[in-house]
């Protein structure tokens, strides 16, 4: 075993060697936090601490396993006796020994999220509540939030503020559902994930002798990612450290981005106030990123008021400036990013796995997935599904398939009872049996169930008829209207919109954004075909296109290098040579959900900080001046966060004749982008952000454009006209766009203006 302490810099070494009392280690991005935690535990064992007297709490099993293995390599097999693991795994271990005091047996089972949701759904049904209002996922989130704040059923029911919130959300019976859920879990000898925290806290709070036993056993407590702890976790750490006061928490307040999961940044900000005499150590050397990227990130995060000040630095090469791209539309933004990836891949020899595209919401992936496919660049969605594989997207597309081919069995099965219309599996099985017996499609049996001998009651027959009429209505619409019109109609009439717009949970918000983005994609498809000269774009045309996309999603997941696409929340803890942070627009990033809360806005800024600090060598920032939303084109202001980055670290490429809204001048190379004034907080509740004095873009006449002209297109940006042919309504122009490549436009439908 070598002297591992020699591998540490001065700041890291000081944090490892201090073990006389409580300590807070603020670990800047890329500063070697895991190394410090690992070596500190190894050092404690070398100083005579018994392995079972050291408790190390992490947020992932992977982090715990990796640290334990690294410690084992330093100190030998004694490391396996460490109490090291996630909060939930460690606390379940304690509860299996002690839970009898609450009436649980040691072999209690643990419900995962789906088990919990299923039980809540059963209780809602038993209480005869409307499951469209009392959605199981919504109630589950409300109960989980209460448990993470250590609010038990009695306290929940007695809290006027909470009950008023439930009233306003039209779920006033939540307190009673919580009570029944709590009781049913106890009766079933079951705990859910939140209960593992709640019962551990109650164990130590209600039974001081048990608390003292563990507080004496754990002579040293270490906690990773302390900025991500919630109230319950914070309280339990206090309980376990009240005797020895030997506690070391490690984290970075600048990377606190999980308040929606209950994380409380105050836990880390106020740690030194809670533990008197606590030492503060700052790990400020970044080993990941270039000097320029680190300085850009520093200049951004210093705008936050709530923080522990530090000056992160890098001794790597200075590196390139952070490049800002402004696109005419979200479509062009996708092309710009993918062109950059392709260029760096060809020129610099960067592998595709050296690139990451980071976005604020899952719905944004569609544009980039399609741009990557056009270039035949392999990619993967990290921590999620490809856009067209998401449940809500497959549900909608199944309705589309039924509208053009009601005999599609898989689509039929998927949507027959979604959204719920009281047609259960038993009825579907009867329909299937009849279809198999008579060698016809399920749709044929659905139209005449009694003729085919399906044994159903009058109520079920009425429900089947209603579904049949709904699909027939869609078929009529599909035969008469274009893909976008019929798609919008189906999404509304099917009930899917009502289903996912019932509440504002993070899961449902993501589904809503995905559905809206699907409609944006259909609109883009129709507009593109229209400009190419196709006046009627049927739903079948769109389905032919999208079926190829969904096929590609499933057969390209083998080995090999791939561009990574992910939300910024998913990117925390990861690093890439080249990072693209996209969609930097007001109401998108920062999110419109911030409202007028400075605390929430500062968390959005921390999220942007996390995104930038994922980059090792190059960081690119991009925004679009327009996006298709809510059925129309909307114009956007650049994110206020762009103005937070010091001018010295930015590079804005010169763009010929840019539209208003973001107007960099030709020089100098690292000129600060002149971003238009951002809207006031109160104005951010509006759906559309206007940019002032944007030149109008209209369909051009056949004599409005000539070979050699430069045009600005609403979706594709700036391009050179290389050929004009035909006349009148059939006049077409072939245009080579700077980022979107070569396109042929039917001039009577094309929306652009001549700029040169």
User: Which residues contact residue 83 at a Cβ distance below 8 angstroms, ignoring those fewer than 6 apart?
Assistant: 52, 54, 55, 56, 90, 93, 218
From CA 175, how far away is CA 152, in angstroms rounded? 10
Q: Say whether 33 is catalytic.
A: yes
C-beta neighbour count of 49 within 10 angstroms:
17
- Return the bridge partners of 619, or none: 579
Given a contact cutoff of 8 angstroms between Cβ atoms, the answer to whether 514 and 393 are in contact is yes
Active-site annotation holder among 614, 627, 672, 751: 614
Q: Which of 581, 631, 566 is nearest to 611 (CA)?
A: 581
DSSP code per residue over 652-687 = ----SSPPTTB---S--TTPPP-BPPPPPTGGGGSS
Token pair 């705990």: residue: 191
C-beta neighbour count of 155 within 10 angstroms:
13
Active-site annotation holder among 192, 225, 284, 392: 225
Q: Say whether 511 is catalytic.
A: no
Q: Say whether 112 is catalytic.
A: no
- Return the bridge partners of 376, or none: none
- H or E segment to which residue 708 belongs: none
Given a contact cutoff of 8 angstroms between Cβ atoms, the answer to whether 21 and 278 are in contact is yes
Q: Say whether 632 is catalytic.
A: no
Structure tokens given for 591:
């999110």
3-state helix, strand, coil in the chain (%, to 5): 50, 15, 35
Q: Say whether 613 is catalytic.
A: no
Helix (H, G, I), strand (E, B) or coil at 505: coil
Given a contact cutoff of 8 angstroms between Cβ atoms, the answer to whether 453 and 433 are in contact is no
C-beta neighbour count of 66 within 10 angstroms:
14
**Distance spanning both ends of the chain, measured CA to CA:** 70
From CA 460, how far away is CA 649, in angstroms rounded? 66
Q: Say whether 255 is catalytic.
A: yes
Active-site annotation holder among 12, 33, 288, 364: 33
From CA 341, how far away is CA 576, in angstroms rounded? 13
Q: How many residues does the chain have?
A: 756
Active-site annotation holder among 138, 239, 241, 255: 255
User: Which residues contact residue 685 at a Cβ distance below 8 angstroms, ignoring those fewer than 6 apart?
Assistant: 592, 595
Structure tokens given for 91:
């606390």
Active-site annotation holder among 192, 194, 224, 335: 224
From CA 543, how far away is CA 551, in angstroms rounded? 12
Q: Which of 219, 283, 241 is nearest to 32 (CA)?
A: 283
Active-site residue set: 33-34, 224-225, 255, 614
């Amino acid at each position: 075993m070598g002297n591992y302490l020699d591998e540490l810099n001065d700041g890291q070494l000081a944090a490892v060697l201090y073990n006389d009392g409580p300590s807070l280690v603020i670990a800047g991005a890329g500063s070697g936090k895991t190394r410090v935690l690992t070596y500190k535990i190894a050092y404690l064992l070398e100083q005579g601490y018994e392995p079972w007297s050291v408790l190390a709490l992490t947020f992932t099993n992977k982090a715990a396993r990796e640290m334990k293995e690294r410690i084992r390599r330093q100190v030998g097999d004694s490391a396996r006796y460490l109490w090291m693991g996630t909060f939930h795994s460690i606390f379940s271990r304690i509860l299996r020994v002690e839970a009898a005091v609450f009436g649980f047996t040691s072999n209690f089972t643990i419900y995962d999220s789906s088990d919990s949701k299923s039980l809540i759904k059963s209780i809602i049904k038993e209480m005869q509540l409307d499951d469209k209002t009392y959605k199981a996922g919504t109630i589950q989130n409300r109960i989980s939030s209460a448990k993470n704040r250590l609010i038990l059923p009695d306290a929940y029911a007695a809290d006027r503020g909470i009950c008023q919130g439930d009233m306003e959300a039209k779920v006033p019976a939540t307190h009673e559902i919580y009570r029944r859920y709590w009781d049913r879990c106890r009766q079933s000898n079951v705990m859910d994930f939140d209960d593992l925290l709640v019962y551990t806290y109650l164990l130590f709070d209600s039974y001081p002798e048990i608390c003292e036993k563990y507080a004496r056993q754990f002579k040293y407590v270490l906690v990773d990612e302390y900025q991500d702890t919630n109230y319950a976790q914070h309280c339990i750490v206090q309980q376990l450290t009240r005797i020895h006061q030997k506690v070391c928490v490690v984290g970075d307040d600048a990377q606190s981005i999980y308040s929606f999961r209950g994380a409380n940044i105050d836990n880390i900000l106020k740690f030194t106030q809670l533990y008197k005499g606590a030492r503060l150590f700052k790990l400020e050397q970044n080993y990941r990123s270039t000097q320029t990227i680190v300085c850009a990130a520093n200049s951004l995060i210093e705008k936050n008021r709530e923080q522990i000040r530090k000056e992160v630095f890098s001794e790597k090469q200075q590196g390139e400036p952070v490049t800002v791209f402004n696109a005419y539309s979200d479509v062009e933004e996708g092309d710009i990013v993918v062109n950059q990836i392709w260029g760096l891949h060809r020129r610099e020899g960067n592998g595709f796995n050296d690139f990451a595209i980071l976005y604020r919401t899952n719905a944004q992936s569609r544009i980039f997935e399609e741009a990557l496919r056009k270039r035949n660049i392999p990619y993967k969605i990290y921590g999620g599904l490809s856009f067209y594989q998401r449940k809500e997207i497959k549900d909608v597309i199944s309705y589309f398939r039924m509208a053009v081919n009601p005999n599609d069995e898989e689509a039929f099965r998927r949507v027959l009872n979604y959204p719920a219309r009281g047609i259960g599996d038993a009825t579907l099985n009867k329909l299937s049996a009849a279809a198999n017996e008579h060698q016809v499609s399920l749709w044929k049996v659905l139209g005449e169930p009694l003729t085919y001998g399906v044994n159903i009651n009058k109520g079920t027959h009425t429900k089947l008829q209603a579904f049949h009429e709904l699909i027939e209505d869609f078929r009529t619409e599909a035969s008469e209207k274009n893909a976008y019109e019929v798609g919008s109609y189906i999404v509304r009439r099917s009930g899917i919109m009502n289903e996912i717009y019932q509440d504002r949970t993070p899961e449902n918000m993501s589904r809503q954004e995905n559905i809206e983005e699907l409609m944006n994609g259909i609109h883009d498809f129709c507009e593109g075909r229209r400009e190419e000269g196709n006046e009627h774009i049927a739903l079948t045309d769109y389905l032919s296109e999208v079926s190829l996309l969904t096929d590609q999603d499933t057969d390209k997941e083998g080995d090999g290098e791939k561009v990574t696409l992910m939300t910024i929340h998913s990117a925390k803890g990861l690093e890439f040579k080249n990072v693209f942070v996209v969609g930097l627009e007001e109401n998108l990033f920062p999110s419109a959900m911030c409202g007028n809360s400075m605390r929430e806005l500062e968390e959005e800024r921390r999220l942007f900080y996390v995104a930038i600090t994922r980059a090792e060598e190059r960081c690119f920032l991009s925004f679009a001046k327009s996006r298709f939303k809510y059925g129309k084109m909307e114009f956007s202001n650049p994110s206020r966060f762009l103005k937070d980055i010091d001018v010295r670290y930015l590079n804005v490429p010169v763009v010929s004749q840019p539209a208003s809204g973001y107007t960099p001048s030709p020089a100098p190379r690292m000129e600060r982008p002149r971003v238009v004034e951002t809207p006031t907080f109160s104005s951010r509740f509006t759906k559309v952000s206007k940019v002032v004095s944007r030149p109008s873009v209209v369909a051009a006449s056949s004599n409005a454009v000539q070979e050699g002209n430069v045009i600005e297109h609403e979706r594709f940006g700036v391009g050179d006209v290389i050929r004009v042919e035909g006349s009148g309504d059939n006049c077409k122009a072939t245009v080579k766009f700077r980022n979107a490549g070569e396109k042929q436009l039917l001039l009577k439908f094309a929306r652009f203006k001549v700029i040169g």
